[in-house]
A and B are shown apart, each in its own frame.
Chain A
Amino acid sequence: MSKELSRRTFVQGSALAGLGAAALGGSALFGCSSELAETGADGKAEPAPVEEKIVWNHCAINCPGRCALKLHVVDDEIVRVETYAADSDDMDDIQPRACLRGRAYRAWVNHPDRINYPMKRAEGSKRGEGKYEQITWDEAIEIIARNYQEVIDNYGPEAVYMNYCTGNYGVTARPWFRLLNSLGNGYLAFYGNYSLAQLMWITPYIFGASVGAGSSLSAARDSDLVLMFGTSPVETRQGGAVSHHDYVAMREMTKGKIYVIDPRFNDSLAGRSDEWLPINPGTDAALVAAIAHELIANNQVDKEFLDTYCVGFDEATLPASAQGQNKSYQDYIMGTGYDKVEKTPEWAAPITGIAADKIRAMAGEIAAAKALFVDQGWGPQRRSNGEMTGWSICMLPILTGNIGLPGTSNGLREGSYSVNLTSMPDGENPVKAKISVFSMVDAIDRGHEMTEKADGVTGVEQLPCDIKFVINYAGNCITNQNSDINWVHDVMSDESKCQFVLGSDILMTDSLKYSDVILPDLFRLEQPSMIGTGGDGGYMLAGSEPYAPKFERKSAYDAAALIAAALGKEEAFTEGKTQEDWLRECYETSREKDPELPTYEEAMEMGVYTRKNPAGAVIAMAEFRADPVANPLDTPSGKIEIYSEALADYIAAHEFADDDFVAPIPVYAPEWYGAETVTDEFPLQLSGFHYRGRLHSSWGGVEILKELNPQEAWINPSDAAERGIEQGDTVRVENQFGAMELLAKVTPRVIPGTVACAQGAWHDADMNGDRVDKGGCINTLTTHRPSPFAKGNPQHTNICQVTKA
């Protein structure tokens, strides 16, 4: 295979002198470019020709974009990052153009804080202080293997945990689960994720386990009414062949009226102010309930659909166990249900902040729509009432029968058409116990107390031990992206709790400072890699390394192989294969399943392989709609469950807190730290959102991105004026969990009563001092209390006060 797919020659200039500095970090982040080289040629000396090679690779962070990176490489330095683009007027031509972050890779790859050598925590320093000394790979592997074996011997495999991490994707990018299985013992696994834990948990109760997403955005081109709940497709996935592009294309082509229901005038609304429906965070379910009230009161629900395809709308389709007790959805909405409150628009107005007349008008538009497309982002469900909110939003297409037909979606987040590639196998984990992904620090702090009934442990009734050995690879989810950082710090820095943390990353991060040993990783784009993904259209990216590993960095695969070897399991882990051998083998498996794929060599040469959806658009649940008897859902009834008997059983068998709001139908659940539970001390809601200058915390330390994507608290002019805050002021945002300082963005683009803060900024606090986070990381203020069902992260459910700093 050739990694030098095309070559052209350009003239070397004086700017090449900067390359050495770039390799060592420091301010010369960019090396040189052909343009500088030309201007630098002063004619005094005849410049020598320099070979520039083009190497394809891909972005690999936690965004399905995984966009194409066309790397221009000179003398083992990337001198320019291009992407895959064509000059075409066809919006449906699939072009995975990298976003601003992809175009800033050089500053990240050459960052002065890159990890270059194995390191161990400096003698006498405490975990979390971030003081390290360089060691050899041999020493590092010995320490890791020794601690692993001690933990296995003393506590068992349930004490070993691989933390949730999202900084690195590719078919061979995740060797750690495979390592832990190859060692023969297994590990305590997790379920869920930080993106959509609540919705993932509740969706099987609604639509069954085989339904995970809605229709593709392209389907909304055929809609006449598009409702976007708590979502900004142009911000969450910014590439040129995922929802950024797909949403722009859709809104240009659809004849449908679009509403974006969001506390924030997000960037998907840019230039289209008539589409914004501001709402108080966490109250979407109340809006849905009031719309449902109008639809029912005006006889506008699709009764035939509800009777044929659903259970639990009214008494007639309730399971026997629930009959005669006013447990139907209609009872709940019309005021004859368990709470005897009629969910009128007047009831919802003060909760949601949306006037009753506006709710009525919206219900009228929904009733009149011929093809209603309802899409929810994962923000509404990333809350203390996320399971109920996510389910509730799905009720609009359910009530109106707008499911499985052209122009409709089922209310979940937009689906996609992907090129699917097989990944390196993880092997079998003999350990049955699992915890919710959000529970890791709890399981370090008090794992042996955690139960199936109270804490969402699965596979066992109670955990046998605490977590003692953690692998944290390519992730910042110990502190920065986890909740309640100040509490996490206290648990993690207590060395009597977790015995050992292995960290591996490309850059020093806040979470990496809790490692006992750190291994220097490679970016995905610094090693051979492949990945498949998609949006409206599917694509696959393949690429090779632009240069050999620098310093003492190794791929995660090679690092894991060394650990396996130290523990006598190298053959079990590698099966005698290199990472590239696995890439080829996995790809051949992929080609057996999908013979249209190009050969491995062709794929590597192309860099980007695209494929349009032959069906035109993904229509969620179309088969079920066409024939619900032949194609039943994976629910107990085979139908859409508006009342879930399985959930009622689950509720009866589990323990919940008094203020956890649980029900077997989709209800509005007031939040613990929400619109109705702000206090005099903390009178504002605080909600996070995805930022354009980072992907979660990835790129969060890259100065050129930080400069033009400042960390700001969006605050409405009325809330700012009350507090004497002006645009650009440094403000302190504070609550019961902590305090952070950031800049005020005083803007009518956020609803009064809510502060919006982009998540993912790098935590920057003196943890032995005042702990005020100068980085503006919202997780300084988020709670580690999990949501009631999924035990998921309710990271947008917060209250706060804001003052001028």
Chain B
Amino acid sequence: MAQLAFYFDGTRCTGCKTCVFACKDKNNLDVGMAYRRVWEYTGGTTEKGADGTCTTSCFSYYTSVSCNHCDKPICMANCPQGAISKDDETGLMAVDADSCIGCGTCANACPYAAPKVDPETVKAVRCDGCADLVAAGELPACVMACPARALKFGDAEAMAALGERGATAPLPDPAETEPNYFMTPTADARAAGSSEGFIGNPLEVA
């Protein structure tokens, strides 16, 4: 089975969220729904001493992530309805809306919180890797959107040659689901599970 994957160059990402909005446009996602998120992970301090001069250990970086179409899709394993499938040809994940009961088990199981439940249709929704575009020989909307050209998409082996499997905070340990998400981390990046920083943009990743 072939497997498609994302590659994310953290050294290029500036946190603009163009990927998010290209996805929202492509998938008609209004307020309250986004399949892709850009996380700000920030830590350290910036302080002034008694003499008025400043010292800083602040670090901050962005991570753009959607569904990683994992090798061990924990969403699929946990779905009580068997409504989630992994495409034989591409490895892309999909939800069968007819079978889905909107229970949200997938959303809770996924350590990337990639699947969501649409409050109107009460069905699970998620990034499908722009399967329709990919079938037509194009690339996902987010990938072709990035002004800094930080995203790529293609055969997992080719993406793996560009970087390591995503293992930087705030992402989880990749061993859990083996995400098809390969990346080049920034100089500031901390390891998955780090407690050195915090999510700096909690309102932007809802």
Contacts and interface: CB of A to CB of B under 8 A. Distances in A.
Interface of A: 15, 27, 29-30, 32-36, 38-39, 80-83, 85, 87, 91, 97-101, 103-104, 106, 234-235, 238-240, 244-245, 248, 252, 265, 267-274, 276, 278, 349-350, 353-356, 358, 692-693, 703-705, 707-710, 712, 716-718, 727-728, 743, 745, 747-753
A87 B187 contact: no
Interface in B129-154: 132, 139, 141, 144-150
Contact of A234 (B27, B148, B206): B148
A99 B60 contact: no
B95 to A, nearest CB: 11
Contacts of B139: 87
Contact of A717 (B45, B61, B202): B45
A265 B139 CA distance: 33
A493 B187 CA distance: 54
Contacts of A80: 25-26
B16 A85 contact: no
B46 A752 contact: yes
Contact of A271 (B51, B97, B132, B186): B186
Given A34-B132, A35-B26, A99 B16 contact: yes
Contacts of A718: 47-48
Given A32-B28, A704-B30, A748-B56, 17 more contacts: A30-B25, A30-B28, A83-B144, A83-B145, A98-B18, A100-B22, A267-B16, A270-B61, A271-B188, A272-B188, A273-B44, A273-B56, A273-B59, A350-B52, A353-B54, A708-B17, A752-B46
B54 A248 contact: no
B128 to A, nearest CB: 9
Contact of A353 (B32, B52, B58): B52
A704 B53 contact: no
Given A240-B147, A248-B148, A271-B61, A103 B53 contact: no
Interface centre among B32, B147, B202 (most CB of A within 10 A): B147
Interface string B54-77: 111111111000000000000000
Contacts of A15: 28
A47 to B, nearest CB: 16
A91 B62 CA distance: 20
B34 interface: yes
Contacts of B52: 349-350, 353
Interface in B155-184: none
B100 interface: no
Nearest to A712: B203
B86 interface: no
27 contacts: A30-B25, A36-B28, A87-B139, A87-B144, A97-B147, A98-B18, A100-B22, A240-B146, A244-B16, A248-B14, A248-B148, A248-B150, A265-B46, A270-B13, A271-B60, A273-B56, A278-B56, A350-B51, A350-B53, A692-B15, A692-B17, A709-B17, A716-B46, A718-B47, A743-B203, A748-B44, A751-B54
Contacts of A268: 14
A354 B54 contact: yes
B42 interface: yes
Contacts of B62: 267, 270-271
Given A271-B189, A273-B188, A35 B27 contact: yes
Contact of B42 (A35, A106, A703, A747): A747
Which of A80, A273, A356, A751 has the most B CB atoms < 10 Å from its CB?
A: A273
A239 to B, nearest CB: 6
B79 to A, nearest CB: 19
B25 A748 contact: no
Contact of A749 (B46, B54, B132): B46
A252 B11 contact: yes
A747 B200 contact: yes
A267 B15 contact: yes
Contact of B46 (A103, A355, A751): A751
B148 A245 contact: yes
B60 A749 contact: yes
Contacts of A693: 17
Closest 6 CB pairs of A and B: A271-B186, A240-B147, A271-B61, A100-B21, A273-B59, A103-B21
Nearest to A86: B144
Contact of A104 (B21, B45, B54, B144): B21
Given A30-B28, A33-B27, A34-B132, A103 B145 contact: yes
B58 A103 contact: no
Given A97-B145, A751-B46, A753-B48, A272 B200 contact: no
B1 interface: no
Given A32-B28, A103-B21, A97 B14 contact: no
Given A81-B25, A252-B11, A692 B16 contact: yes
A80 B130 CA distance: 14
B147 A99 contact: yes
Contacts of B147: 97-99, 238-240, 244-245
Nearest to A31: B28
Contacts of A273: 44, 56-60, 187-188
A717 B55 CA distance: 14
Contacts of A39: 97
Given A104-B21, A234-B16, A278 B34 contact: no
Given A240-B147, A692-B17, A272 B187 contact: yes
Nearest to A88: B149
A92 B44 CA distance: 35
A353 B48 contact: yes
B30 A27 contact: yes
Contacts of A745: 200
Nearest to A727: B202
B161 to A, nearest CB: 13
A269 B60 contact: yes
A710 B204 contact: yes
A399 B54 CA distance: 27
Interface in B1-45: 10-18, 20-22, 24-28, 30-32, 34, 42-45
A349 B148 contact: no
Interface string B182-203: 0000111100000000001011
Contacts of B186: 270-272
Contacts of B53: 349-350, 353-356, 358
Contacts of B148: 234, 240, 244-245, 248
A635 B145 CA distance: 45
Nearest to A85: B144
B22 to A, nearest CB: 5
A773 B92 CA distance: 47
Contacts of A248: 12, 14, 148-150
Contacts of A753: 48
A709 B48 contact: no
Contacts of A717: 45
B21 A244 contact: no
Contacts of A704: 21, 24, 30-31
A35 B131 CA distance: 10
Nearest to B49: A355
Contacts of A743: 203
A97 B58 contact: no
A238 B18 contact: yes
Contact of A97 (B43, B54, B146): B146
Contacts of A267: 14-16, 62
A276 B45 CA distance: 13
A104 B48 CA distance: 40
Interface string B75-116: 000000000000000000000010000000000000000000
B25 A104 contact: yes
B58 A234 contact: no
Q: Point out which of A29, A103, A245, A717 has the most chain B C-beta atoms below 10 A from its C-beta.
A: A103
A475 B83 CA distance: 50
B187 to A, nearest CB: 6
A245 B145 CA distance: 12
Contact of B58 (A36, A106, A728, A749): A749
B46 A750 contact: yes
